[in-house]
Each structure stands twice: as C-alpha cells, then as structure tokens.
Amino acid sequence: MPYKPKHPCSYPGCPRLTSGRYCEEHQKIITAHYNKHQRDPASKRRYGRAWKRIRDRYIAAHPLCEQCKRAGKITPAEEVHHILPLSKGGTHVESNLMALCKRCHSEITAREGGRWG
C-alpha cells in the first residue's frame, strides 16, 4: 500500500517534512509542553513503570488493532487505550483495555474530548 506524501511540520517556521503532524524534534517539544502545562499532574503517577509493563504485556497478547479488526482490516496495534479513562475512575484491568493503532486511538481520544478535544 503506498504511503501518503510527507507534508511540512505544523510547528511555526519549521520547513521539515513529516508523516505526522510535527517533525520528531518538535513533537518532543509539543509533548513536553502538554505534559507540563495541560496534563493532570496525577496522571504521572498513573502512567509509571507498572503501566509500561501492563501495556507491553497487553500488546504482546493483542498484537492487532481491535478497532480495525472489527472493520475487517489487519493493522498492528501500537497503543493501549483505556475504555473508561483513568481520570473517570477506570483502572488498568485487562477488561478496561483495548489495543489500537495510532490512528484509531487518536480518533477515539478526540471523540471523547481527550488531549485534542
């Protein structure tokens, strides 16, 4: 399947071409700014080393995007989504997790009014 053509980074004044919204350098800056100024400080405690182990185990057990699989597509899972967000009382219990590709995870997060909503 052909790739989409790259486009300029969305960071003001950056001419680099990228597949995502920002080039690698500016994505780090944007993420750091979000984590420092907009993300709930309590989330740092919720997404520590234990979460990384849970996430890695879940991805190993569910290597395909569950959303794409329902639509009949085969896409590797890259992220783990909490069905009921931790901020609304959700937990890291396996029944509350869902393996997703980046695209599906971004769509769900935006729809639920998360980081981009």
59 and 113 together in one domain: yes
Query: Domain for residue 55, yes or no?
Result: yes
Query: Domain for residue 111, yes or no?
Result: yes
Q: Tens digit of pLDDT for each residue in 70-111?
A: 999 999 999 999 998 887 888 889 999 999 999 999 888 888
Q: How many domains, in total, are found in the chain?
A: 2
CB atoms within 10 A of CB 104: 23
28 and 45 together in one domain: no
46 and 17 together in one domain: no
18: containing domain: 7-38
Query: Domain for residue 96, yes or no?
Result: yes
| pLDDT in the model for residue 42 | 63
28 and 66 together in one domain: no
Question: How does residue 117 score in pLDDT terms, banded at 50, 70 and 90?
Answer: very low
Angstrom distance (rounded) from CA 19 to CA 7:
7
pTM for the full predicted model:
0.61
Query: Domain for residue 78, yes or no?
Result: yes
